[in-house]
Structure 1
Amino acid sequence: MHDLTPILSTVTASFLASFVEVVEAFTIVLAVGVTRSWRPALTGAALALALLAALVLAFGPLLALVPITVLQFIVGVLLILFGMRWLRKAILRSVGVIALHDEEAAFSKETAALQQQADDRRADYLAGLASFKAVLLEGVEVVFIVIAVGAAHAQTFYASLGALAAFILVTIIGLAVHRPLARVPENALKFAVGLMLTSFGIFWTGEGLGADWPGADLALLAIFAIIAVASFAIVRWLRDSHPKAAQGAAR
């Protein structure tokens, strides 16, 4: 179990984070395919995936040139910043300060925009560009997460498996139902991902600074628990401080 802890945490963090990003990208690609046609939708998505693969192949090997402690520190700090951004938004959405992300609304908005371009001679080009941008922007975050959660302990392969599993699962479900995955508890997933990325960041920043964590990799679980308790306490405090916003979020 001790040896499996970093692998399981890496795969889980990569899967959950990638799942959220893939759902958002899939919503746009689906809107393009349903409203215009599947050719520009799939072409734009394929070009974006090819560009992402090229970026990984080009810059991935450079990580091997960076000393492991320096890499752990840099990746750790970036993960803290990245995870805290996700966590902050998830907390504010939980109490109603920020509106929950609605995949149905995003789908309708993108569909309406594509329908307005229907008479434009460049309609296929614009539709393909929308698909390309969605996959590229969300894909960049996926690539960063995969590299970040995998590089510090040489587990990029396991992180990639988590991201690939998320991509396959969203694609299968999305194509089967032919609708945006609006019922996915996205904010809960983002809350969990924010907790995991922040925990990884704190753990690896400490290792980069030479900290000797009690229990070695098992310290990740303790860090996660502490951050989770603190985050839920903040949510409780904000709900008590902003009862009207909390009631709006509950609805």
Structure 2
Amino acid sequence: MGNSALFIAVFLACAVEAVEALTIVLAAGIGRGWRSALTGLLAGLLTLTVIVAALGPAVAAIPLDVLRLVVGGLLLIFGLQWLRKAILRASGYKALHDETAAFESALAAAQDSPAPSGSGLVPDWYGFTLAFKGVVLEGLEVVFIVLTFGSNQRNVGLAAVAAMTAVLVVAAAGVAVRAPLARVPENGMKFVVGVMLTAFGMFWGAEGAGAHWPGSDLALLVLIPGVGLYAVILVAVFRRRGLRKQLADKRADAQKGSPA
């Protein structure tokens, strides 16, 4: 796996998480006040930094074959979950993720919560907690992606740069528009990231178990399109089934409504 592929994979995955974290921080800032929200944001980033500093060396010390086997299994679980949801959304069996709706829901909850209580840097503990939890929960997935991809390729530094770049790009866009990034094709990005995580999980898991891929890293150029094609076929099959079910339901309703 080349440095370019590592950077792109980490960047896309972290960008999705950054969009969701941004939505929560915006809701906390607009609904409860920016001082508490920004303090919660900084506290969350500090917590994630400590986690990376603590876990990074420990993960890097694991033997490469063991690391690839463990990371491959985890990425398969993680990637298949993303891919399953993306396929269901694309085929109409699950509602598309709407960042605007998520923002409005979080904002309404923030505005309806008890009156601010606090002082100093944290005049409102609800806003602080909302921003802190959003950053840490979404950030933990970023940490997982950075550590697994970076440690497996023995290049945590590049993975961290890719993650930081994604976060900065999303944050800059959010500050510029001061709104949730509803126009970002998040559902499409999740589909692509699900495909990539699944393919990398298969690749590294097999290598960790002792298998040797033909062409070494070049096998990813077959695995990634192969997983993507299979996912697209599943979307087409599920859409067809959904259309057939809709037609059958309409016919059944028509027959019930027709006179005997």
TM-score range, shorter chain: over 0.9
Question: Whole-Å Cα distance in 1 between the matches of residues 42 and 49 of structure 2?
Answer: 10
Is the 8 Å Cα contact of residues 32 and 116 (structure 2) preserved in structure 1? no
Which residue among 71, 78, 82 is the counterpart of 1:82?
78
Alignment of 1:151-162 (within 5 A): 151-162=151-162
Which residue among 25, 31, 42 is the counterpart of 2:27?
31
Question: Whole-Å Cα distance in 1 between the matches of residues 42 and 245 of structure 2?
Answer: 41
Q: Which stretch of structure 1 is more off in the superposition, 58-67 or 173-182?
A: 58-67
Question: Whole-Å Cα distance in 2 between the matches of residues 12 and 244 of structure 1?
Answer: 38
2:242 matched residue in structure 1: 242
1:56 matched residue in structure 2: 52
Question: Whole-Å Cα distance in 1 between the matches of residues 242 and 74 of structure 2?
Answer: 31
Could you list the runs of 5+ residues in structure 2 that have no partner in the other structure? 247-260
- Report the alpha carbon displacement of residue 223 of structure 1 after superposing the two structures with TM: 0.5
Question: Whole-Å Cα distance in 2 between the matches of residues 184 and 218 of structure 1?
Answer: 30
Give the number of the structure whose alpha-carbon radius of gyration is greater: 2
Is the 8 Å Cα contact of residues 239 and 245 (structure 1) preserved in structure 2? no
Question: Whole-Å Cα distance in 1 between the matches of residues 138 and 74 of structure 2?
Answer: 17
Identity %: 46
2:249 matched residue in structure 1: none
1:249 matched residue in structure 2: none
Alignment of 1:1-251 (within 5 A): 5-117=1-113, 119-121=115-117, 124-243=124-243
SS at match of 2:184: coil
| CA offset digits 1:148-198 (Å, max 9, x no partner) | 112112122221111111111001110000010001111100000001111
Question: Whole-Å Cα distance in 1 between the matches of residues 49 and 141 of structure 2?
Answer: 13
Q: Which stretch of structure 1 is more off in the superposition, 28-37 or 126-135?
A: 28-37
2:258 matched residue in structure 1: none
**One-letter amino acid of the counterpart of residue 28, structure 1:** I
Question: Whole-Å Cα distance in 2 between the matches of residues 28 and 106 of structure 1?
Answer: 8
Is the 8 Å Cα contact of residues 114 and 127 (structure 1) preserved in structure 2? yes
Question: Whole-Å Cα distance in 2 between the matches of residues 42 and 141 of structure 1?
Answer: 21
| CA offset digits 1:212-243 (Å, max 9, x no partner) | 21111111111001111111010000000112
- Report the alpha carbon displacement of residue 119 of structure 1 after superposing the two structures with TM: 2.7
Question: Whole-Å Cα distance in 2 between the matches of residues 82 and 6 of structure 1?
Answer: 22
SS at match of 2:124: helix
Could you list the runs of 5+ residues in structure 1 that have no partner in the other structure? 247-251
The TM-score with structure 2 as length reference comes to 0.89
Q: Which stretch of structure 1 is more off in the superposition, 97-106 or 79-88?
A: 97-106
- Report the alpha carbon displacement of residue 118 of structure 1 after superposing the two structures with TM: 5.5
Question: Whole-Å Cα distance in 2 between the matches of residues 75 and 245 of structure 1?
Answer: 40
The TM-score with structure 1 as length reference comes to 0.93
Residues matched between the structures, number: 243
Question: Whole-Å Cα distance in 2 between the matches of residues 62 and 211 of structure 1?
Answer: 25
Are the structure 2 counterparts of residues 91 and 187 from structure 1 closer, same or farther at C-alpha, using a change threshold of 3 Å?
A: same
Is the 8 Å Cα contact of residues 149 and 200 (structure 1) preserved in structure 2? no
2:253 matched residue in structure 1: none
**One-letter amino acid of the counterpart of residue 171, structure 2:** T
| Structure 1 runs (4+) greater than 6 angstroms displaced | none
Question: Whole-Å Cα distance in 1 between the matches of residues 117 and 93 of structure 2?
Answer: 42
Tell me the C-alpha RMSD between the 2 structures: 1.7
- Report the alpha carbon displacement of residue 6 of structure 1 after superposing the two structures with TM: 2.1
Is the 8 Å Cα contact of residues 199 and 227 (structure 2) preserved in structure 1? yes
Question: Whole-Å Cα distance in 2 between the matches of residues 99 and 208 of structure 1?
Answer: 37
Is the 8 Å Cα contact of residues 97 and 245 (structure 1) preserved in structure 2? no
Question: Whole-Å Cα distance in 2 between the matches of residues 129 and 244 of structure 1?
Answer: 47
Question: Whole-Å Cα distance in 2 between the matches of residues 130 and 61 of structure 1?
Answer: 30
SS at match of 2:182: coil
